[in-house]
Amino acid sequence: MLQITDVHIYHKGLDSAVAEAIQLLSLPPHSHCISATGAHGLVEAQKDSAFKSTLQQFYWNLPDGMPLVWLGKAKGFSQMTRCYGPDFFSALLTKTAHLAEVKHFFCGGKEGVAEQLQQRVAIKFDNSNVVGTYCPSFSGMKEQDWQQLAGSISASGATVIWIGLSTPKQERFAIELAKRVSVHLIITVGAAFDFHTGLQPQAPAFMQRAGLEWFFRLCTEPNRLWKRYLEIVPKFVFYGMQDLLRSVLKKNA
């Protein structure tokens, strides 16, 4: 198993992740939590041991960014590919479009975004099996809110819940929700909702391949993101190199 900064990272590639997720959908529901995890998540995990414990509870942490892929390959996992949250979302929505038993529920985004996404995936991915949407309160969820959401999900018959919030909020949200519902998958995909509805532009493919999506997003939302990336980028380089050095020393011991 691939570990990066003490967090297990999925290493088999995007195609395998999609295929295995579809297999999980044929098994009894177990509310498996899956996170599209990038540098932001791993830096947060180093700052907050409780959040690291949250990621360690996830069934999979998909390598959402190229830096995780590069580290994984440096550790010998040559088959790794990026499992970008928006790509995993589009692949699974497409593959399950005509599987009537697979029902999706969208949770997250600003008011109205999940509803827009529901309409969008029916056109873009030919998938009309979206059975519910929910916009969590930005002031936090109270117990009655959790009960209302869990009841809506149960009544809808949803098998896959997609959560489009920010890290670390979405991962904590997923773990709390998993305690209250019985579904097959709960998947956190960050800004995928905004990308697939067209509310935010995606970085060009060459910037994504070069690991520069963070720079593109910084340029498009400088006021919101400059503090985040000023912290994340240097810290991830430090933690990643430290982790790789430990791995090399352990291998040669």
Question: How confident is the model over 230-249, as pLDDT tens digits?
Answer: 999 999 999 999 999 988 88
Q: Tell whether 175 is covered by a domain.
A: yes
Task: Give pLDDT tens digits for 95-131.
Answer: 999 999 999 999 998 889 999 999 999 999 999 999 9
d(CA 185, CA 188): 10
Q: Tell whether 17 is covered by a domain.
A: no
Residues of the chain above pLDDT 70, percent: 100
Q: Tell whether 93 is covered by a domain.
A: yes
Q: Tell whether 2 is covered by a domain.
A: no
Kindly indicate the confidence band of residue 209, based on its pLDDT and cuts at 50, 70 and 90: very high
Per-residue confidence (pLDDT) for residue 146, from 0 to 100: 95
Q: Tell whether 18 is covered by a domain.
A: no
Per-residue confidence (pLDDT) for residue 147, from 0 to 100: 95
Specify the number of domains making up the chain.
1
Per-residue confidence (pLDDT) for residue 86, from 0 to 100: 96
Kindly indicate the confidence band of residue 60, based on its pLDDT and cuts at 50, 70 and 90: very high
d(CA 127, CA 124): 8
d(CA 107, CA 193): 9
Q: Considering the entire predicted model, what is its pTM?
A: 0.95
The percent helix, strand, coil of the chain (3-state, each to 5) is 55, 15, 35
Q: Tell whether 253 is covered by a domain.
A: no
Domain extent at residue 170: 27-245
Q: Tell whether 10 is covered by a domain.
A: no
The encoded tokens of residue 243 equal 């982790």
Q: Tell whether 52 is covered by a domain.
A: yes
